[in-house]
Amino acid sequence: MNQFLSVRDAGDMEELVIEALAMKVNPYKDQEIGRGLKLGMLFMNSSLRTRLSTEMAAKNLGMDVQVLNLAAEAWALEFEEHAIMNGNNPEHIKEAAGVIGSYFDVLALRSFPSLSDQVKDESEAVFRAFARHTAKPILSMESATRHPLQSLADIMTIAEHSPIKRPKVVLTWAPHIKALPQAVPASFAEWSIAAGHDVHICHPPGLDLDPEATAGAQISSNQAETLRNADFIYVKNWSMRNPYGKAYEGGEDWMLTEAILHQAPDAKIMHCLPVRRNVEISDELLDSPRSLVLDQAANRLWSAQVVLKKMIESLKDEKTKYVGN
């Protein structure tokens, strides 16, 4: 695994999940594998779960870790090619990425979308720039369009709680007070589909997700019907693609409550967190045994650890190949 940006980098997903679950039982089995390897964790945006779990995962593997809030502690970055840099951003990504890449063996990066410039966001300009200007493997800690460490933790959580191989998984839009990225729901959809789940998505008209991510899912605007007999319900707000980045107006009745769920008596509730209580999901559901939200967050540690382990193994394979020649 020489990068981890989306489901396409996951390799054999079933094996990945099994190995992650094994780590949960035996966290320190590989504590020497990362010895002498350096992870740089770079944040353009806020982070709680991702930051704590990724740093801890890397240390569990013996890596050295350094965390930097790029905008707050270092310099604001310019991404435009050929920019005349007489504005507010004193450092170009070319130099920043080149320099950081020279210090670390693996780079972990978080960069949310602008939600104002669709082309830039969908091109993953920040990640591509880092990839272009450093030769080091890159681990996504959430990009403009995907959040694969979250999705892997979600798939692990479903694997732990599903009595059947092909559960009915519903991804339902929920109301919110702000315009949020599509990274988490799009990412979850493509991972859940790739995992072989029976995936259903429901949202008010006009809130379509990236069609590339949802190919293979049933899509509807009828929430009640879609939820029927669901095994897992993933709740999440996201903003519109057209007009791009706009928050949906209305839809307050899409909040997930006990009342809505009478037709899915055994459904488990999922959310990536942070969750707006009594806006996205009611207290009664979040505080009930139906809720898996803390399980998902706890699994973030193991999803990061298994991915870092795979990346370390690839690094070592390459080194061996090189020495072998």
> What are the residues binding a copy of itself (CB under 8 A)?
28, 36, 38, 40, 43, 46-49, 51-53, 55-56, 59, 64, 66, 68-70, 72-75, 78, 82-86, 90-92, 94-96, 98-100, 102-103, 177, 273-279, 283, 286-287, 293-294, 297-298, 301
Helix (H) or strand (E) holding 312: helix 293-324
Rounded Cα distance between 276 and 175, Å, is 9
CA 13, 132, 179, 119 torsion-angle sign: negative
Rounded Cα distance between 245 and 141, Å, is 21
Of 193, 205, 203, 149, the closest CA to residue 168 belongs to: 193
Of 282, 320, 224, 301, the closest CA to residue 27 belongs to: 301
Q: Least distance (Å) from a copy of itself to the CB of residue 137?
A: 17
Would you say 15 or 287 has its CB closer to a copy of itself? Answer: 287
Would you say 145 or 291 has its CB closer to a copy of itself? Answer: 291
Would you say 22 or 83 has its CB closer to a copy of itself? Answer: 83
Q: Least distance (Å) from a copy of itself to the CB of residue 231?
A: 23
Q: Which residues contact 278 (CB under 8 A, 6 or more apart)?
A: 255
Q: Least distance (Å) from a copy of itself to the CB of residue 82?
A: 6
Q: Least distance (Å) from a copy of itself to the CB of residue 245?
A: 18
Q: Which residues contact 74 (CB under 8 A, 6 or more apart)?
A: 68, 91, 96
Q: Least distance (Å) from a copy of itself to the CB of residue 242?
A: 25
CA distances (Å), 151 to each of 44, 74, 221, 242, in order? 20, 30, 23, 25
Structure tokens at 74: 């270092």
Would you say 260 or 286 has its CB closer to a copy of itself? Answer: 286
The full DSSP string for 121-155 is HHTTHHHHHHHHH--S-EEES--SS--HHHHHHHH
Would you say 242 or 288 has its CB closer to a copy of itself? Answer: 288
Rounded Cα distance between 97 and 312, Å, is 20
- 206 close to 248: Cβ distance less than 8 angstroms: yes
Would you say 20 or 96 has its CB closer to a copy of itself? Answer: 96
Q: Least distance (Å) from a copy of itself to the CB of residue 253?
A: 15
Helix pair angle (49-60, 293-324), 10° resolution: 40
Would you say 66 or 242 has its CB closer to a copy of itself? Answer: 66
- SS3 per-residue string spanning 239-264: CCECCECCCCCCCHHHCECCHHHHHC
Q: Least distance (Å) from a copy of itself to the CB of residue 215?
A: 31
User: What pairs with residue 277 in β-bridges?
Assistant: 281
Would you say 218 or 288 has its CB closer to a copy of itself? Answer: 288
Would you say 94 or 241 has its CB closer to a copy of itself? Answer: 94
Q: Least distance (Å) from a copy of itself to the CB of residue 169?
A: 22
Q: Least distance (Å) from a copy of itself to the CB of residue 279?
A: 5
